[in-house]
Each structure stands twice: as structure tokens, then as C-alpha cells.
């Protein structure tokens, strides 16, 4: 049975959806209580009509560059010998349906569909097994990137962190098969990226372990695990859809800053 964790609008209550589509309120805190002890409440009536919110407000967002061979090649970058780690500002996070705003400072803003890993436990210098056990689940993300500024600047901070540059959600797949996760990005309904976590240069437990050797990871922190080949520019009026496995796609319109 696959279970999904949802955050329901407008209040932000957590709920669990099972395979049958039934949604029940969660009375436990998914970032404190171990899943085996979770207490479920009543069934959510007309759950399909309830808007979904961003599933977590992360304390930090760690990005990984060039983690798929074919994406490194398409941007003429060498295959990294160690994970290439960067940070994205928390203030860049938006939920499903919120617009990605193209800033006037950039003439080239790209989509990067990615698998986002959400952590439930504190980690410091973790090994692979500890890293795997600390995963709450995975969801979809778009690592929106001002490509021209990324090439111009010596660091990624500006290119990755404009407001609205991190759509995230909507539902978290619990107990995900970390080594076999499908990722699909569509722009205006057309498939532009198709990836699978088995094609990562550094797999998900390796990434978590590596990052935890630099900085403590805390419950609710998010790791964006890199994008497969097929990235491309966004234009005002586009709709981005990023889907992990068969979860509800993360869908966001694109607007120019007025």
C-alpha cells in the first residue's frame, strides 16, 4: 500500500491518502512522531475539492548540481567527482498552482524538474543506512534557475534564489523506492524531461550522507536531487508540471514580473 502525506488548505492540517483515494486527517506530527505511532482522525469529506498547500516549509533547501550524466553533458559540464552542493533560499518556496515570476534581472530562466527528498530526523555525519532511515518521503520540485546569471556569477546564490523559484509539492510519497523513482516534466502538457533516480550519478542515500557531513540536516529540510536532461527556458504564459511516480503533478503557471 502506498501512502501519501498531504497538507490541506486553508488551515494546513496534515492528512494521509491511501491507495483507494480515501483521505483521513493525521493527528500526529509527521516531523516528530514515528510513522508507526501515527494517529488518524476522521475521513476528509470531498477531499478532491480541498486545495493542497506546500507540504513543508523547509528550514533549508539543499540543491545538487549535475547529478545526471546526460544533463551535465547538455550544458557542457564535466561529470562531477563529488556531489556539487548549493543552497536555495527558503523564501523561494511556493506551493502548487502559485505562479513562478520571471524577474527582470534575467533574460533566460530555465525549468529543472527534480525529485525532492524531505527529511524527518536530524542527521550529522550520517552513513547510508542512517540517511535512508531519516527520509520522510519524496515529492516533486522545480529548481527554477536564472541560467544567464548562473553563468555570469561565481556562485549560484542569485541564479537559484529569486522569490517563487522553488515550487514544491503537493503530496509526499511515504516509504518511496529511492533507487527507482520516475520523474516527468511537462511544459504546456508536452513531455520535456523523463528521468529515473536509478540514473543519478550519486544516489539519494549518498547525497544525504554527503550533505550531512557538511551541515546538520534537520526535520523538514529538503534536498533537491538534481535534474535529468531536457532543461529549457520558461516564458510568461507557460504551465510547468513536475510529476514523481504517479503522484498528483506539481503544476505552476509562469508570469513575467510586472
Q: List contacts with Zn ion (CB under 5 A).
A: 112, 143, 227
Q: Cite the DSSP H helix spans in 123-202.
A: 128-133, 147-152, 157-160
Least Cβ distance, residue 225 to Zn ion (angstroms) = 8
Across-strand partners of 186?
A: 191, 241
Q: How far is the CB of 17 from Zn ion (least distance, A)?
A: 28
The answer to whether residues 138 and 116 touch, using CB atoms and an 8 Å cutoff, is yes
Q: Helices (DSSP H) in 51-164: which residue ranges? A: 69-74, 128-133, 147-152, 157-160
We find the least distance from the C-beta atom of residue 210 to Zn ion, in angstroms, to be 16
Q: Which is nearer to Zn ion, 14 or 156 (CB)?
A: 156
Shortest separation between residue 86's beta carbon and Zn ion, angstroms: 9
Q: Which is nearer to Zn ion, 112 or 137 (CB)?
A: 112
Edge-to-edge strand list for the sheet holding 182-187? 100-102, 250-256, 239-244, 182-187, 190-196
Cβ-proximal residue to Zn ion, closest one:
143
Nearest to 129 by CA among 206, 183, 238: 206
CB of 168 within 8 A of CB of 116? yes
Minimum distance, C-beta of residue 201 to Zn ion, in the bound complex (Å): 13
Identify which of residues 143 and 241 has a Cβ nearer to Zn ion in the complex: 143
- Cβ closest to Zn ion, residue 17 vs residue 147: 147
Q: Which is nearer to Zn ion, 28 or 90 (CB)?
A: 90
Amino acid at each position: 500500500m502506498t501512502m501519501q502525506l498531504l497538507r490541506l488548505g486553508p488551515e494546513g492540517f496534515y492528512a494521509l491518502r491511501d491507495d483507494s483515494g480515501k483521505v483521513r486527517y493525521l493527528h500526529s506530527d509527521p516531523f516528530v512522531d514515528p510513522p508507526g505511532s501515527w494517529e488518524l482522525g476522521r475521513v476528509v469529506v470531498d477531499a478532491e475539492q480541498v486545495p493542497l498547500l506546500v507540504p513543508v516549509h523547509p528550514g533549508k533547501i539543499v540543491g545538487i548540481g549535475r547529478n545526471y550524466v546526460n544533463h551535465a553533458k547538455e550544458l557542457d559540464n564535466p561529470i562531477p567527482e563529488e556531489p556539487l552542493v548549493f543552497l536555495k533560499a527558503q523564501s523561494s518556496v511556493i506551493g502548487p498552482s502559485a505562479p513562478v515570476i520571471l524577474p527582470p534581472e534575467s533574460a533566460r530562466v530555465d525549468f529543472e524538474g527534480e525529485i525532492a527528498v524531505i527529511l524527518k530526523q536530524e542527521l550529522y555525519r550520517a552513513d547510508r543506512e542512517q540517511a535512508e532511515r531519516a527520509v520522510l518521503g519524496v515529492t516533486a520540485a522545480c529548481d527554477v534557475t536564472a541560467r544567464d546569471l548562473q553563468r555570469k556569477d561565481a556562485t549560484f546564490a542569485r541564479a537559484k534564489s529569486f522569490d517563487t523559484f522553488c515550487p514544491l509539492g503537493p503530496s509526499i510519497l511515504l516509504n518511496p523506492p529511492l533507487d527507482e523513482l520516475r520523474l516527468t516534466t511537462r511544459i504546456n502538457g508536452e513531455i520535456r524531461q523523463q528521468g529515473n533516480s536509478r540514473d543519478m550519478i550519486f544516489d539519494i542515500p549518498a547525497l544525504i550522507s554527503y550533505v550531512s557531513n557538511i551541515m546538520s540536516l534537520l526535520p523538514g529540510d529538503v534536498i533537491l536531487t538534481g535534474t535529468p536532461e531536457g532543461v529549457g527556458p520558461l516564458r510568461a504564459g507557460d504551465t510547468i508540471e513536475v510529476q514523481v511516480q504517479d503522484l498528483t503533478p506539481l503544476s505552476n503557471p509562469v508570469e513575467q514580473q510586472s
